[in-house]
């Protein structure tokens, strides 16, 4: 097998890593511009040329409608999804419904799926890796949020395939982050992964025991991240400028763009230092001459005061996740901080306050997910003989089964079964002369289906008409490592089959 990368396909930034066959160590591969992370931004010009990463981001202000970013929040979602409707209002590019009613983008009059946009990011990473390694990249392990449903996973896989990658596995992001740090395999642990990125917050609670990782709960906020912090700083800068010059920048997109860039870099600087200065020369050109923004001192305290209320929003998802998992902070053994925003001291303080532990020191928040994916890729590809063969297994969070007579729930795969797994059970008809059966699939722990969650159904027709209880139907449940459930119903006498693909959540979806 050729090279298999670990790829963290992020909402704002993506990162790739691989295990060196010689050392057995995972390392980040920089992109063509020498950066260790790549903005997940794709720009399309009128002639069809595609630009990815920082170069795309730099020209965004000039071509806001042709510069697409943050598609991870759209992927695999219906256009009518309230989250999509809300997001649309904030995005400078056009979001439309594709022919099947899924959220898509339209650039230069052309409709593109989020998977198509993401495939450009993945292809760029693949090409950067190939250029520096001088070898072709065959495949990847790509990470996804733990709460991604079947469609979101399928679309992410498709994005990889479109980029010319064999997607060996989709790995949950918190699981990847956990893999990136050393842990004691002999002792069961509860681990919290606190991930604050550019536009999303995810908190996941994992239980790790030997080689099995159970996602106990995931919770989060799809509209909370670094962008919110940047917006608040922009607003503060706009007010300062108004006070200094009497000029309001509200309707000046180019000046606002520069304020946003300044806000972001100020935020980053203040993660390391107590104070900084902001100088933006020629922010606006008036007839009387240019105006500059000059703030000799902008302190960390000022930043923290500006965003304190926003950061308070991190609390509720943490509490919810603990409640869903049936844990208290006393049951948590370690906290892993992931996402660029966890470099901000005030964010780290919040994580510690809500989860009861300081974050792991050894973890690089920008790279942990990609490093974990690379370690998994190494196992999948079997490249380096040095790496211990810990095969990560997720477990099924709730039992899976079908509806039987009287609305009873018949379990095929009980909860906490490690996946991938497979189970077949034989059922018989309940009525005389019955020629078809409806297989209704449910998930949950209640003895009757009304207490459980409906996942979907399939029908097997063309059964031999006979007395009740004499015609047999074999129902097969197969769950792959990506958590995708394939249901097959088969008539063993005729060989007739019906199939459906479903995705049970491995953890509670937010």
CB of 320 to Mg ion, least distance (A): 20
Report the alpha-carbon distance of residue 42 to residue 304 in Å, rounded: 32
Handedness of CA 504, 481, 339, 161 (dihedral sign): negative
| C-alpha distances in Å from residue 194, one per residue of 88, 350, 431 | 26, 10, 53
CB 97 within 8 A of CB 79: yes
- The answer to whether 319 is a known catalytic residue is no
Report the alpha-carbon distance of residue 380 to residue 271 in Å, rounded: 37
CB 401 within 8 A of CB 410: yes
CB of 14 to ligand ADP, least distance (A): 7
CB of 7 to Mg ion, least distance (A): 11
Establish whether the linkage from the previous residue to 32 is cis, with ω within 30° of 0.
no
Site for ligand ADP in 197-226 (CB under 6 A): 197-200, 225-226
Site for ligand ADP in 21-50 (CB under 6 A): 37
Q: Is 159 left (phi over 0), alpha (psi -120 to 50) or beta?
A: alpha
Report the alpha-carbon distance of residue 176 to residue 368 in Å, rounded: 7
- The answer to whether 394 is a known catalytic residue is no
| C-alpha distances in Å from residue 170, one per residue of 140, 358, 450 | 9, 29, 32
For ligand ADP, the closer CB: 339 or 444: 339
Site for ligand ADP in 331-350 (CB under 6 A): 339-341, 343-344
- Residues near 222 by beta carbon (within 8 Å), at least 6 away in sequence: 73, 83, 199, 200, 510
- The answer to whether 72 is a known catalytic residue is yes
- The answer to whether 195 is a known catalytic residue is yes
CB of 415 to ligand ADP, least distance (A): 30
Q: Choose among Mg ion, ligand ADP, none what residue 39 binds, the Cβ cut-off being 5 to 8 Å by kind.
A: none
Q: Choose among ligand ADP, Mg ion, none what residue 221 binds, the Cβ cut-off being 5 to 8 Å by kind.
A: none
For ligand ADP, the closer CB: 102 or 228: 228
Single out the catalytic residue among 116, 155, 173, 376: 173
Report the alpha-carbon distance of residue 139 to residue 28 in Å, rounded: 16
Classify 394 as helix, strand or coil. Answer: strand
Tokens of 109: 């009059």
Burial of 326 (0-12, 13-18, 19+ CB in 10 A): exposed
CB of 43 to ligand ADP, least distance (A): 17
Q: What is the DSSP letter of 471?
A: S
Single out the catalytic residue among 116, 150, 195, 376: 195
Report the alpha-carbon distance of residue 84 to residue 88 in Å, rounded: 6
For Mg ion, the closer CB: 196 or 502: 196
Using CB under 5 A as the criterion, which residues of the chain lie in contact with Mg ion when the complex forms? 10, 197
Count residues binding ligand ADP (CB under 6 A).
22
Interaction mask 241-270, ligand ADP, x per CB under 6 A: -----------------------x--xx--
- Under the binding rule (CB under 6 A), the answer on residue 367 touching ligand ADP is no
- Under the binding rule (CB under 6 A), the answer on residue 510 touching ligand ADP is no
- Under the binding rule (CB under 6 A), the answer on residue 372 touching ligand ADP is no
The angle that helices 345-355 and 315-325 make with each other, rounded to 10 degrees, is 30
For Mg ion, the closer CB: 197 or 444: 197
CB of 194 to ligand ADP, least distance (A): 12
Residue nearest to ligand ADP (CB): 226
For ligand ADP, the closer CB: 112 or 121: 121
- Under the binding rule (CB under 6 A), the answer on residue 171 touching ligand ADP is no
Binding residues for ligand ADP, per CB under 6 A? 10-13, 37, 197-200, 225-227, 264, 267-268, 271, 339-341, 343-344, 366
Q: Which residues are catalytic?
A: 8, 72, 173, 195
């Amino acid at each position: 097998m050729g090279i298999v990368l670990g790829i963290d396909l992020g909402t704002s930034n993506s990162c790739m890593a691989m295990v060196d066959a010689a050392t057995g160590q995972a390392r980040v591969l920089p992109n063509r511009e020498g950066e260790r992370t790549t903005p997940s931004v794709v720009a399309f010009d009128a002639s069809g040329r595609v630009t990815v990463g920082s170069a795309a981001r730099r020209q965004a202000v000039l071509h806001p409608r042709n510069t697409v970013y943050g598609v991870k929040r759209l992927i695999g979602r219906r256009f009518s999804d309230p989250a999509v409707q809300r997001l649309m209002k904030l995005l400078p590019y056009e979001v439309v419904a594709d022919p099947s009613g899924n959220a898509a983008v339209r650039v230069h009059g052309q409709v593109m799926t989020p998977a198509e946009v993401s495939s450009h990011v993945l292809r760029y990473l693949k090409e950067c890796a190939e250029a520096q390694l001088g070898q072709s990249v065959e495949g990847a392990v790509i990470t996804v949020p733990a709460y991604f449903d079947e469609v979101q996973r399928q679309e992410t896989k498709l994005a990889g395939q479109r980029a010319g990658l064999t997607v060996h596995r989709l790995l949950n992001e918190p699981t990847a982050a956990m893999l990136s740090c050393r842990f004691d395999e002999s002792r069961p642990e509860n681990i919290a992964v606190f991930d604050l990125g550019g536009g999303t917050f995810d908190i996941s609670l994992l239980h790790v025991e030997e080689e099995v990782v159970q996602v106990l709960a995931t919770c989060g906020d799809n509209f909370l991240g670094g962008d919110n912090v940047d917006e608040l700083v922009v607003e503060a800068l706009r007010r300062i400028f108004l006070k200094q010059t009497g000029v309001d920048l509200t309707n000046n997109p180019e000046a606002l763009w520069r304020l946003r860039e300044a806000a972001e870099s100020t935020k980053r600087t203040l993660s390391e230092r107590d104070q900084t200065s902001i100088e933006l020369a020629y922010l606006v050109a008036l007839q009387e001459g240019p105006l500059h923004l000059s703030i000799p001192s902008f302190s960390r305290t000022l930043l923290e005061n500006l965003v304190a209320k926003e950061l308070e929003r991190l609390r509720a998802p943490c509490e919810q996740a603990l409640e869903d998992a049936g844990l208290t902070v006393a049951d948590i053994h370690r906290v892993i901080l992931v996402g660029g925003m966890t470099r901000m001291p005030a964010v780290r303080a919040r994580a510690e306050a809500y989860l009861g532990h300081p974050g792991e020191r050894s973890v690089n928040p920008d790279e942990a997910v990609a490093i974990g994916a690379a370690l998994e890729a190494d196992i999948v590809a079997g490249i380096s003989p040095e790496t211990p063969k810990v095969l990560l297994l997720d477990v099924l969070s709730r039992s899976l089964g079908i509806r039987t007579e009287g609305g009873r729930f018949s379990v095929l795969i009980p909860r906490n079964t490690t996946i991938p797994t497979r189970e077949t059970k034989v059922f018989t008809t309940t009525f005389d002369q019955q020629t078809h059966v409806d297989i209704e699939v449910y998930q949950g722990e209640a003895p009757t289906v009304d207490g459980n969650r409906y996942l979907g159904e399939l029908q097997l027709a063309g059964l031999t008409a006979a007395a009740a209880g004499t015609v047999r139907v074999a129902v097969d449940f197969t769950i792959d490592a990506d958590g995708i459930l394939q249901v097959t119903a088969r008539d063993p006498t005729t060989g007739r089959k019906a199939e459906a693909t479903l995705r049970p959540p491995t953890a509670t979806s937010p």
